[in-house]
Amino acid sequence: MSVAREIFRRKPVDSSEEESAGGLRRTMGLWQLVALSLGGLVGAGVFSLAGVVAHEDAGPGVMLSFLIAIIASSAAALCYAEFAGTIPKAGSAYTYSYAALGEVVGWAIGWDLLLEYTAIVAVVAIAVSGYFSYVLEGIGIDLPAWMLGAPGTGAGHRVDLLAALLCLLLAFVLSRGTKESARFETILVVVKLGIVALVVIAGAFHISAGNYSPFLPYGLGGAFTGAATTFFAVYGYDAMSAAAEESAEAKKVLPKAIVISLGIAAVVYLLVCVVLLGMQDYRRIDVDSPFSSALASVGLGGLGMVVAVGAIIGITTSAFANMLAVSRVWYSMSRDGLLPRYFARNHPKRQVPTRVIWPVGIGSAVIAGFLPIREAADLTNIGILMAFIVVAVAVVVMRRTRPDLPRAFRTPLVPLVPAIGVAFSVWLISNLDPVTWLRFAGWMALGMVVYALFGYRNSQENPDRAERSQDRERVTDPS
């Protein structure tokens, strides 16, 4: 078999869902999955990034930015829902593309997701750090400037120490076990949504129509650029699909969880943008703690402090969901032999991949400590968009190559809906900064080197590897 054919070998769709020693415990039902998805969907985008994009790119047009991002995300979500109901395995887009398009494509998306999810954890941690600093200042505690932000984000800033420490704390919580972590996540999501509802209701009485004018101060292009940046905020369902092997009745409940969670998130984001931009002029928004400053500007400073405290709790759920996702993608790639199998071994009692969780925690801590939130967010978005494109294409390909597969959910209007997802994703990518492209290209180039030197040879689907394993068995067992 030629190398060209071998790198496009496909992972069998009907292979065992319990592929690793010890397996992953199936402990999550529908509403725990919805909570996990909302943990990723409703986080930094509400409490931080909406203010950043409004202030720097779109003004009140940030509402249009989120609407564009939601439409694009919905097209991709329907594609994810079909795969989630067809291949309910850990790994999300990595597993889907491996089964539909071949190993080298699966590797590329998996490698992409490792960076994407880790950077999202960092973005969210930076957002939490900003609100935490706001709370401390409110009670008269001033922290040293060197620990309040990444280099270049302010006078004397050297590292965002609070953000880095949060990443390590989340790694510790995630390492305790899936059931315990899911319960923790669900509680925090309920608290977060309650706080968002409080903000929307209270802020609605202080909206000034004049703050919406001019609606597009940076032109329509500013709204498009804002959509490219806010896109990752409406993407948390992918983090949930990465944990497919830890859900009961996965084929039945995963598609439902994706659709329900994205619908809730869409309503939340649009309401939040209307209230935030109605309370305060976009030019005066404090990008470190947008909602707290907006509420303070209309005489609700006390409520602003409550929101800041709640944001610290609530945004943490987004970081948690994405850290869980990257650990499961890494775990799946290792189980398939594309990364060292050392990382595919679970903790003997907790049945979670702790050998992956801690490297992820450390990596996200480094990004959170030394990159500004905007650069970190852009770094995640290009990876997300690439994954969207591949999953949308994979749905169309799988419909043609495996029409016989039982599908618990079918994406409507194929190939139109996948084509919309691809078109939006390509367009949004074109609005990202060229520096983001260069960083992404460098990461992918490194990934292809790793695949060529390690993944290709050690893949579970490599027939030469099976022969080598048999040879080793004959050597150790001469009989």
* pLDDT tens string 412-427: 999 999 998 898 888 8
Instruction: Enter the pTM of the model.
Output: 0.80
Q: How far is CA 257 from the centre of its chain?
A: 16
Q: How far is CA 47 from each of CA 24, 88, 159, 289, 337, rounded to the nearest angstrom?
A: 33, 32, 22, 7, 39
User: Residue type for 290, please?
Assistant: P
Confidence band of 232 (pLDDT split at 50, 70, 90): low
- Residue whose tokens read 């948690």: 320
Q: Which range has the worst mean pLDDT, 69-78, 241-250, 360-369?
A: 241-250
Contacts with 169 (C-beta within 8 Å, 6 or more apart), sequence order: none
Please state the φ and ψ torsions of residue 18, each to the nearest 5 degrees. Answer: -115, 75
Give the number of C-alpha atoms closer than 13 A to the C-alpha of residue 450, restricted to the C-beta side.
Answer: 17
Q: How far apart are CA 216 and CA 222, in angstroms?
A: 7
Q: What is the pLDDT of residues 78-133, one digit of tens each?
A: 898 888 888 888 788 899 999 999 999 999 999 998 988 888 888 888 878 877 87
pLDDT of residue 37: 84
Domains located in the chain, CATH noted? 26-431 (1.20.1740.10)
pLDDT of residue 476: 39
Mean pLDDT taken over the chain: 82
Retrieve residue 363's tokens. 């990596």
Confidence band of 50 (pLDDT split at 50, 70, 90): confident
CA-CA-CA-CA dihedral for 362, 363, 365, 367, to nearest 10: 170
Q: Look at 314 and 322; give whichever has higher pLDDT.
A: 322
